[in-house]
């Protein structure tokens, strides 16, 4: 992995080297799941509500090494060009608290509208129990139902293929900054063969 991957759309560029490397090597927080959670909890998911904003902020601040992703979500929420109502989903813990969050915002690929999946996080106490999977599936399904066609993600290459993501480069999709090829992935929601290739233009809040 190269240090030229020093910018990616999970936060501000100056904080990116550690995070980009962490994403590339698939690092979570390293904290074990909390004992006592039901193993078969089915993780109800729903679109975020206004009252969830603080909990979502706290979740990202706890799950990532810095508060950058938490601030990124807040900034995206304030950007009417990026924010799409109904494409920010949470998974609820058994006590009703927010256990996981996944966000899709409007980006462009080669000029065509697409969605960026970022950030995604599960609260450290709930990691490894399916909450992340549930909330990502839910938000992707919501996007599909809205007729969205394409989602891109920059993240753990061992995690996102289970949702159908493939290397973005196979569709001719790239970033304007250098990233490990396997970390940039794309999902064609409508199964179409005609995927717009080109460079991803992220919402301004990503700072890339």
Ligand X SMILES: CC(C)(COP(=O)(O)OP(=O)(O)OC[C@H]1O[C@@H](n2cnc3c(N)ncnc32)[C@H](O)[C@@H]1OP(=O)(O)O)[C@@H](O)C(=O)NCCC(=O)NCCS
| Residues near ligand X, by CB under 6 A | 23, 26-29, 63-64, 100, 120-122, 127-133, 155-156, 158-159
Least spacing, CB of residue 66 vs ligand X, in Å: 11
Cα separations in angstroms, 82 against 103, 115, 149, 152, 193 = 11, 9, 16, 14, 26
Nearer to ligand X, 6 or 122 (CB): 122
- The rounded distance, in Å, linking the Cα atoms of 69 and 16 is 11
Q: Which is nearer to ligand X, 34 or 192 (CB)?
A: 34
Residue 39, token pair as written in the block: 């193993």
> Whole-number minimum distance, CB 147 to ligand X, in Å?
26
As measured in angstroms, the least distance from the Cβ of 71 to ligand X is 15
Burial 37-47 (b: 16+ CB within 10 A, else e): beeebebebee
Q: Which residue is nearest to ligand X (CB)?
A: 132
Classify 114 as helix, strand or coil: strand
Least distance (Å) between residue 155 CB and ligand X: 3
Looking at the Cβ atoms of 81 and 141, the one nearer to ligand X is 141
CA terminus-to-terminus distance, the chain? 20
Degrees (nearest 5) of the Cα angle 122, 60, 32? Answer: 45
Nearest to ligand X of 27, 192 (CB atom): 27
Nearer to ligand X, 53 or 61 (CB): 61
Helix (H) or strand (E) holding 113: strand 112-122
8-state DSSP, 74: H
CA-CA-CA-CA torsion sign (54, 50, 121, 4): negative
What whole-number distance in Å separates Cα of residue 194 and Cα of residue 118?
24
Q: Which is nearer to ligand X, 111 or 128 (CB)?
A: 128
Closest approach of Cβ 128 to ligand X, in Å?
Answer: 5
CB of residue 192 vs ligand X: minimum separation in angstroms?
25
């Amino acid at each position: 992995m190269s240090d030229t991957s020093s910018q990616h759309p999970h936060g501000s560029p100056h904080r990116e080297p550690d995070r980009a490397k962490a994403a590339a090597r698939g690092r979570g927080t390293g904290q074990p799941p909390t004992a006592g959670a039901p193993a078969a909890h089915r993780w109800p998911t729903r679109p975020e509500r206004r009252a969830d904003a603080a909990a979502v902020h706290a979740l990202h601040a706890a799950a990532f090494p810095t508060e950058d992703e938490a601030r990124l979500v807040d900034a995206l929420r304030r950007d009417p060009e990026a924010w799409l109502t109904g494409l920010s989903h949470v998974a609820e813990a058994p006590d009703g608290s927010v256990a996981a969050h996944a966000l899709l915002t409007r980006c462009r690929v080669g000029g065509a509208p697409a969605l960026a999946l970022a950030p995604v996080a599960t609260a450290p106490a709930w990691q490894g129990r399916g909450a992340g999977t549930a909330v990502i599936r839910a938000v992707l399904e919501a996007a599909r139902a809205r007729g969205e066609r394409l989602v891109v993600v920059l993240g753990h290459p061992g995690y996102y293929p289970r949702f159908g993501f493939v290397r973005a480069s196979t569709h001719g999709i790239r970033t304007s900054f250098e990233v490990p090829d396997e970390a940039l992935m794309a999902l064609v929601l409508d199964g179409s063969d005609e995927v717009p290739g080109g460079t991803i233009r992220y919402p301004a809040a990503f700072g890339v």
